[in-house]
Structure 1
Amino acid sequence: MALRTVLVTGGAGFIGSAVVRQYIAETPVTVVNVDRLTYAGSLASLGAARHHPRHRFERVDVCDRRELERVFREHRPDAVMHLAAETHVDRSIDGPAEFVRTNVVGTQVLLEVARGYWSELEGEARARFRFHHVSTDEVYGELGPQDPPFREGAPYRPSSPYAATKAAADHLVRAWHRTYGLPVLVSNCSNNYGPYQYPEKLIPRMILNALEGQALPVYGRGDNVRDWLYVEDHARGLRLVLARGRVGATYHIGGRAERTNLEVVEAICELLDRLAPDGRIGPRRRLIRFVADRPGHDRRYAMDSTRMERELGWRPAVTFAEGLERTVRWYLAHPRWWRAVLEGADPQRPAAGDAHRCAGAG
């Protein structure tokens, strides 16, 4: 399906910015980037795409119905890729209300605006329109050590407030397809990693702590297992789903790279000892500290990507070892980016305590 204009929500976030960069660098598509610019969003993550003539940035909250209607009216997108979400499990445990607001209410508002826009389209434009909702493996809960990876259609058993809000959003998207006929696609991904990831997540946090000689806190015994997916591989998978996926279908995008959290941290230590040795710090493994596990910590996630491989010809191109080294080298080479992000120095980031509307949520 030939797309001319794609509206990407959360396009200044980690995964969203990778999608935007790829669209601008590798296709003729115009991208309408809708982002509220919370603490985890940065226009600096867009690189050269930020000032490209085919990139249109709209600082809009997905809960703001009136502003979303204006964006659809002015830019006339062929498709929507919905990535805007609060995503950090620990933050959802400490403050679930914001996750309900953005992930559930924001998705409902966006669905209604998209449905209203789509219902007025005619002919080829109506037939071409798609709404692609990007979700997570965490909606399925945990796997046992010997369980096969999650396949599409697995029962939902979310454990954290974050996972529960993403599960709710998934159900809303499917309901809008069944009830109203909105042409939707859903994809669920495994843990992403790579350049431009906000340093609250495991891999960038461990890289930066280890560089500074600070403790590397690992939950429990470090034996929780995650399937790791390089963000550029995920972005290419998302573009394929939107362009060629079957309406109403769900696609799993996984990295086929299961590792325990401890294995990941130890690999980071070895890479940094090789790429950035520091005699004052010594071997970085000495910095590992086991800390009390977080509530409801799922033991294992893994995704079966057979449908993506069979129907769309997608496979991860980057191995975990290669992707992790690329990631470590990127953070070593870009201290200006991560220092500015940690300090909230992006000039277009909202000031702390700014209020945000949630208009038209009912």
Structure 2
Amino acid sequence: MILVTGGAGFIGSNFVLQWCAHHEEPILNLDALTYAGNLANLHSLQGTTHHHFVQGDICDASLLAKLFDEHRPRAVIHFAAESHVDRSITGPEAFVQTNVMGTFRLLEAARTHWSSLTGQEKEGFRFLHVSTDEVYGTLAPNDPAFTETTPYAPNSPYSASKAASDHLVRSYFHTYGMPVLTTNCSNNYGPFHFPEKLIPLMIVNALAGKPLPVYGDGQQIRDWLYVEDHCSGIRRVLEAGTTGETYNIGGWNEKANIDIVRTVCGLLDEMAPASARNVTNQKTGAPVEHYAELITYVTDRPGHDRRYAIDARKIERELGWKPAETFDTGIRKTVAWYLANQEWVQGVMDGSYRDWVAKQYGANEA
């Protein structure tokens, strides 16, 4: 059995679904079901015998000890994290608690479990920590992409908390010899993405005739990685990665935010024309002809990193992994998924989410 933390969140649930589609080995899925954790993501696994869900917090040391003792997993894949930069700016304490203390509690529980193992079980145990490229800071336009040896320079409470967790994981390898692996990924997109992040927010707002908020000049550049590619990369690192090593997982797709938004608008124009859906601009009341009419520039957020880019040559060279999707194929699949899963979208559009978007963007129009 493997233990997955945060397996009801965006990336975690995609990993669980992909794992169950390719493996018979059971998954123990631990998730606190905070606002971004959603069991509806895993609806297709109902009735299966190889997915076991437990609602709980990775900061709960007694629960972790109980789960390790009862289930004795051969590996831990650690997704559970607070991950939204904007939320970390307005409420950083939750990020330190989950990302730093939660990772520490999980490492301690895993170390106790690993220390109790012997022979091949001990040799085969793995702790895979899933992190982000944001720990590396920001890049100038002509700087080379992040490699696994790029010095850390986090610029938000979120990225600082993830950097701290990365360092903790590394220390457990060098201090205790615990067999850890770390992956640092670029911006993910795809099915089950909570609609506070850029791509799903643009889709949801456009279909509702709401403003499409773009920070600053929209020229912030990110590397974009289709979530199923990310999950396959994690599976490959778990299978064959060298313990103590870090592997950057990227999509080789550097795009400016404004170009992402315009691409989404163009796909929606094609796949769900505003005229056919009778979409009206909620600010003006006028019919929407093209979704790009809804683009609205808002005041940039504090400390907004200008560019991220992942050099993913190490994982390709050493483990033979590379992404299967281009951005064009991945973004088309993503928009199609959101259009076909409006019931899921409505299920996550609760009052707390609407309050958050209104608080973050409502008074910030530039």
Q: Any idea what the Cα deviations from partners look like across 1:314-337, whole Å, max 9, x if unmatched?
A: 111011011111111111111110
Q: Which residue of 1 aligns with 2:67?
A: 71
**Shift of the alpha carbon at 1:61?**
0.2
Instruction: Please name the residue that 2:362 is paired with.
Output: none
Q: Which residue of 1 aligns with 2:86?
A: 90
1:257 aligns with 2:253: yes
Q: TM-score, normalised by structure 1?
A: 0.93
Indicate conservation of the 8 Å contact 1:25/1:49, yes or no: no
The reply to whether residue 129 of structure 1 matches residue 141 of structure 2 is: no
Query: Displacement, 1:67?
Result: 0.3
Q: Which residue of 1 aligns with 2:220?
A: 224
- Give the structure 1 partner of residue 40 of structure 2: 44
SS at match of 2:89: helix
The letter of the residue matching 1:240 is R
Alpha-carbon separation, structure 2, partners of 1:90 and 1:119: 39
1:331: which partner in 2? Answer: 338
Residue 198 of structure 1: SS of its match in structure 2? Answer: coil
Q: CA deviation at 1:50?
A: 4.1
Deviation at 1:92, TM superposition (A): 0.2
Q: Distance in 2 between matches of 1:49 and 1:178?
A: 38
Distance 1:95 1:51 in 2: 38
Hey, which bits of structure 1, 4+ residues long, moved more than 3 A?
none
Letter in 1 for 2:14: A
Query: Residues 26-65 of structure 1: matches in 2 within 5 Å?
Result: 26-65=22-61
Q: Where does the alignment leave 5 or more consecutive residues of structure 2 unmatched?
A: 276-286, 353-366
Q: CA deviation at 1:283?
A: 0.7
Corresponding residue to 1:116 among 101, 109, 112: 112
Aligned residue among 142, 147, 153 for 1:146: 142
1:246 to 242, 245, 266: 242
* 1:1-362 aligned within 5 A: 5-279=1-275, 280-343=287-350
Q: 1:126 Cα deviation (Å)?
A: 0.5
Deviates more, 1:154-163 or 1:23-32: 23-32
1:204-241 per-position Cα deviation (integer Å, ceiling 9, x unaligned): 00000011111001000000000000000000000111
2:357 aligns with none
Rounded to whole Å, the distance in 2 between the matches of 1:308 and 1:281 is 45
CA distance, structure 1, for counterparts of residue 44 and residue 269 of structure 2: 31
Q: Give distance in 1, aligned partners of 2:114 and 2:173.
A: 12
* Distance in 2 between residues matched to 1:203 and 1:135, nearest whole Å: 20
The amino acid of 2:114's aligned partner reads W
**Conserved 8 A contact 1:20-1:49:** no
Question: Normalising by the residue count of structure 2, what TM-score does the alignment of the two structures yield?
Answer: 0.92
Q: Aligned partner of 1:323: which letter?
A: G
Specify the code of the residue in structure 2 equivalent to 1:144.
Answer: A
Distance in 1 of aligned mates of 2:128 and 2:28: 15
Identical aligned residues as a percent: 57
Asked if the contact 1:44/1:50 (under 8 Å) is kept, the reply is: no
Corresponding residue number in structure 2 for 1:354: none
1:165 shift after superposition: 0.0
The Cα shift of 1:338 comes to: 1.1
Q: In structure 2, how many angstroms separate the alpha carbons of the residues matched to 1:191 and 1:17?
A: 16
Is residue 16–residue 83 contact of structure 1 (8 Å, CA) maintained in 2?
yes
Q: For the Cα contact (< 8 Å) 2:274–2:291, is it kept in 1?
A: no
- Deviation of residue 342 (structure 1)? 1.7
Task: For 1:152, give the aligned amino acid.
Answer: E
Question: What secondary structure does 2:274 align onto?
Answer: coil
Q: Secondary structure at the match of 2:223?
A: strand
- The corresponding residue for 1:353 is none
Q: Tell me if the contact between 1:43 and 1:50 (Cα under 8 Å) persists in the aligned partners.
A: no
Displacement of 1:344 in angstroms is 7.5
Matching residue of 2:282: none
Q: How far 1:259 sits from its partner (Å)?
A: 0.4
Q: Quick one: distance in 1 between partners of 2:64 and 2:55?
A: 10
Q: Which amino acid in 1 is paired with 2:329?
A: E
Shift of residue 74 of structure 1?
1.1
Q: Which amino acid aligns with 2:207?
A: L
2: distance between equivalents of 1:284 and 1:42? 28
CA RMSD of aligned residues (A): 1.0
